Amino acid sequence: FSFCFSSHCNHFFLCWCNNSSQVSIYRESFSSEGSMLNVSQSESNMTTASQNQDLLRIVLISTLSTVPSFVFLYINGTILFTLRSKPVFRDTCRYILLYNLLLADTVQLAQSQVQFLLSVCRVKLAYSLCTVLSMLANLTTGISPLTLVVMPLERYVAVCYPLRHSSIITVRNTTVVIIAIWAVSSLNNLTRVLLFLKFSLEKIESWQIEDVCSRIALVLGAVTAEYDRAYICVVFVSAGVATTFSYVSVIIAARSASTDKALAHKARNTLLLHLVQLGLSLSSTIYNPLIIALSKILTTVAFLWVQNVFYVCFIIFPRCLSSLIYGLRDQTIRPVLLYYLCCRLKVKISG
């Protein structure tokens, strides 16, 4: 005959055989609680390793974007200071317009970096706070292309109507134009707010951004998306038409015997630079659609790295490169800019 008994943690089998006087005790090495403890420890180790990898990835991505951002913010700040350091800059209309363009780009760069770091660190924001940040981004983003509508026209007047340039392009008129630029961009923001308020305020106050705080999060419907596309198309087409018209007019005027050849040549190069600036500004508008499309086909890790590369290429670089190139090629700005960038070396300038 045989019988067995078991304890809570381990199973023991006691067998008594008819043909043997010996009792054999076998212990089954099976422990349910020990097994569960090992599984729990394994899961804890995996979680810790995953958290360490996530932390390392966040640090790397944040560093790769923050370092160039701070470098470009320093360069932009230096150019802004340069444009206010001499009367020749403060009293020249094209430098005033450049200052307005660079100011908007600098604010946009700083604000974009803040939102990017919040996104990388997976910080969830209340909808109201995300709305404020996105409205600021929307306001400053619209300033650049609107300013690029006016800057080519200023060069067109300088070359094609040199005798009337000083009476048409004045500091007062330029100030009025800049106010109008900010007013148009603010009106665009107000329109988005009105579309936003079509939704229940009580419901919106309780909303929280599920993933990334950006202008994508504020596209609350087809109407908002269609309005954004229409506004972007109108602004950039206007800037493109103004730049192309000015460039063609300058080329035609350069063939005239009464036109200053050197001035026309410089104006033509400046207008080409404006086209480059417009292209860089336009490139930032395709960032969000690309990110949306890639988020659907890439893994989370791959998406974060691609997002970082695209952010540096489409958001950071355009906010600095165009103004830096403009400043370095301008014979009046370049010595002063290099003076402040290069440890304030002694450089003589005129004006």
Q: Which residues of 328-337 are buried (b: 16+ CB within 10 A; e: fewer)?
A: eebebbeebb
Q: How far apart are the C-alpha atoms of 102 and 251, rounded to whole Å? A: 27
CA 300 to each of CA 211, 289, 294, 312: distance values in angstroms, whole numbers, following the listed order: 12, 17, 10, 18
**pLDDT of amino acid 302:** 80
Q: How many structural domains compose the chain?
A: 1
For residue 54, tell me if it sits in a domain: no
H or E segment at 13?
strand 11-16
Residue with tokens 């936003």: 196
For residue 16, tell me if it sits in a domain: no
Q: How far apart are the C-alpha atoms of 158 and 25, rounded to whole Å? A: 107
Q: Which CATH number characterizes residue 185's domain?
A: 1.20.1070.10
H or E segment at 12?
strand 11-16
For residue 221, tell me if it sits in a domain: yes
pTM for the full predicted model: 0.75
For residue 14, tell me if it sits in a domain: no
Q: Which domain holds residue 215?
A: 66-341
For residue 125, tell me if it sits in a domain: yes
For residue 285, tell me if it sits in a domain: yes
Radius of gyration of the chain (CA): 32
Q: CB neighbours of 153 closer than 8 A, spacing ≥ 6?
A: 242, 246
For residue 191, tell me if it sits in a domain: yes
**What does the pLDDT profile of the chain (351 residues) look like in tens digits?**
333 433 334 333 333 344 444 444 444 444 444 555 554 555 555 566 556 666 777 777 777 778 888 888 988 898 999 899 889 889 999 899 999 999 998 998 888 888 878 777 777 777 777 777 778 888 888 898 899 889 888 888 888 888 888 889 999 999 999 999 999 999 988 887 787 676 545 455 545 455 556 555 455 556 677 788 888 888 888 888 888 888 888 888 777 756 667 777 777 788 888 788 788 777 777 777 787 788 788 887 787 788 788 888 888 888 877 778 877 888 888 888 888 877 655 544 444
For residue 174, tell me if it sits in a domain: yes
Residue with tokens 């640090």: 59
CA 321 to each of CA 67, 81, 135, 243, 328: distance values in angstroms, whole numbers, following the listed order: 15, 17, 24, 19, 10
